[in-house]
């Protein structure tokens, strides 16, 4: 689990778990225990959400250095072939217009087209390869239920569970007196849990939008 954990959210969990430890040590009342249990459930869901986001990102990340190199190479070959053909065609044109009695042979005409055709065919093959590769990535992600459609459904379920837990926890905390020595700690813990939920959701939205653009 820890190999896939998004460590940038680790400080938030440290604060939350520290508050929970203080709560368990100080609170023996049933309300405190209920709040502690709900907080742990929320943390479990947020860790699960973070793992889902990480896996979704890894399975759908298709922009690699090799892809960039392949695209550059295909475009370069196309450009070189097209430029070579145009240079040859220009040379034939000036040769024919300068020496009007000279006839341009069919082979010479065809020769200036070959580099252009070859370059464009290689570029088309490169684009077709990348399109096929994108489709394979998407099928692989869909097989693991990590494509945009399935992952969005799973994220919605987790967010709904987290929100429900936060609501129940907020009600219990609000029922406590503000003079209670635990009230400030519990309120701060609730803000940390809410901030972590928002950060994870924002992270998924960014990945979801980029993934949809890649497969559009």
The answer, yes or no, to whether residue 45 has pLDDT greater than 90, is: yes
Phi/psi class of residue 146: alpha, beta or left (left: φ > 0; alpha: ψ in -120 to 50)?
alpha
Q: How far is CA 35 from the centre of its chain?
A: 34
What band does 166 get if pLDDT is binned at 50, 70 and 90? very high
d(CA 80, CA 25): 73
- Taking Cα atoms as reference points, which of 137, 146, 140, 138 lies closest to residue 4? 146
Asked whether the predicted pLDDT for residue 87 surpasses 50, the reply is yes
Please count the other Cβ atoms lying within 10 Å of the Cβ belonging to residue 112: 19
Q: Where are the alpha helices (DSSP H) in the chain?
A: 10-26, 30-60, 65-98, 106-111, 114-143, 148-174, 183-215
pLDDT in tens, 198-208: 999 999 999 88
| Phi-psi domain of 102 (left: phi exceeds 0; alpha: psi -120 through 50; beta: other) | beta
Q: Nearest CA to 56 among 134, 136, 159, 155?
A: 155
| pTM (2 d.p.) | 0.60
Per-residue model confidence (pLDDT) at position 207: 86
- Secondary structure string (H, E, C) spanning 9-49: HHHHHHHHHHHHHHHHHHCCCHHHHHHHHHHHHHHHHHHHH
Average pLDDT value for the chain: 77
Contact 39, 189 (CB under 8 A): yes
Q: What is residue 28's predicted lDDT score, i.e. its pLDDT?
A: 42
pLDDT tens by residue, 102-120: 666 666 666 677 777 887 8
């Amino acid at each position: 689990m820890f190999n896939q954990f998004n460590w940038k959210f680790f400080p938030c969990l440290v604060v939350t778990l520290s508050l929970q430890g203080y709560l368990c040590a100080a609170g023996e009342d049933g309300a405190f225990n209920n709040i502690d249990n709900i907080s742990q459930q929320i943390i479990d869901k947020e860790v699960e959400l973070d793992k889902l986001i990480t896996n979704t990102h890894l399975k759908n990340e298709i922009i690699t250095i090799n892809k960039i190199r392949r695209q550059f190479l295909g475009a370069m070959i196309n450009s070189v072939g097209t430029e070579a053909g145009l240079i040859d065609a220009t040379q034939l044109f000036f040769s024919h217009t300068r020496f009007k009695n000279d006839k341009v042979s069919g082979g010479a005409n065809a020769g200036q087209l070959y580099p252009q055709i070859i370059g464009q065919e290689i570029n088309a093959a490169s684009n077709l390869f990348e399109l096929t590769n994108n489709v394979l990535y998407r099928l692989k992600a869909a097989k693991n239920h990590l494509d945009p459609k399935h992952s969005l459904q799973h994220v919605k379920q987790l967010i709904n569970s987290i929100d429900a837990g936060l609501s129940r926890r907020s009600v219990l905390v609000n029922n406590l007196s503000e003079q209670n020595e635990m009230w400030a700690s519990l309120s701060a813990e609730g803000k940390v849990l809410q901030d972590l939920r928002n950060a994870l959701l924002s992270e998924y939205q960014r990945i979801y939008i980029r993934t949809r653009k890649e497969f559009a």
